């Protein structure tokens, strides 16, 4: 499950590249350094205060979900015209099958989306749903740790 989630996040990164998210050196520089420091901060937090690490990850995943929803609202018409990128199949294979019956819920700003996307809008919708599920997973882990101390 962890490896599936990692692959899912890596492939989501490829979609950023496809839409030009890495065109500017400064964007790449800042993102790489934030990722480096964030990773080590989470490692240290997890060793010292795991619940805090889960809460921080939940906050980051929730922010990612909100960012995707905002992006879909602002650029939905443009994204609907964009064809599926080459890495779509890999992304769909990387999506974990959730035990949560609400996981494949109707996206609040669109039609229901399944694992048969037809454009970049559908892909970003699936990624938003994945981010929301990641947020729920972090919240559940935090609650579990709190209850089972």
Spatial distance between the Cα atoms of 21 and 84, rounded to a whole number of angstroms: 17
Mean of pLDDT values over 30-57: 91
Mean of pLDDT values over 38-43: 92
Spatial distance between the Cα atoms of 92 and 130, rounded to a whole number of angstroms: 11
Spatial distance between the Cα atoms of 72 and 63, rounded to a whole number of angstroms: 14
Q: Of 18-27, 29-38, 103-112, 122-131, give the lowest mean pLDDT range.
A: 103-112
Per-residue model confidence (pLDDT) at position 80: 93
If pLDDT is split at 50, 70 and 90, which confidence band does 64 have? confident
> Higher confidence at residue 75 or residue 134?
75
Are 19 and 103 in contact, with CB atoms under 8 Å apart?
no
Q: What are phi and psi of 46, to 5 degrees?
A: -65, -35
Mean of pLDDT values over 66-77: 92
């Amino acid at each position: 499950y962890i490896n599936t989630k990692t692959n899912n996040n890596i492939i989501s990164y490829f979609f950023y590249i496809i839409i030009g998210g890495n065109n500017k050196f400064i964007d790449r520089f800042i993102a790489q350094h934030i990722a480096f420091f964030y990773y080590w901060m989470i490692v240290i937090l997890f060793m010292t205060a795991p619940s805090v690490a889960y809460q921080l990850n939940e906050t980051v995943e929730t922010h990612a979900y909100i960012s995707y929803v905002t992006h879909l609202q602002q650029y939905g018409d443009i994204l609907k015209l964009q064809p599926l990128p080459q890495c779509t199949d890999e992304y769909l294979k990387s999506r974990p099958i959730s035990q949560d019956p609400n996981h494949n819920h109707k996206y609040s700003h669109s039609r229901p989306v399944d694992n048969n996307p037809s454009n970049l809008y559908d892909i970003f919708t699936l990624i938003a749903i994945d981010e929301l599920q990641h947020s729920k997973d972090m919240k559940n882990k935090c609650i579990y740790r709190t209850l089972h101390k």
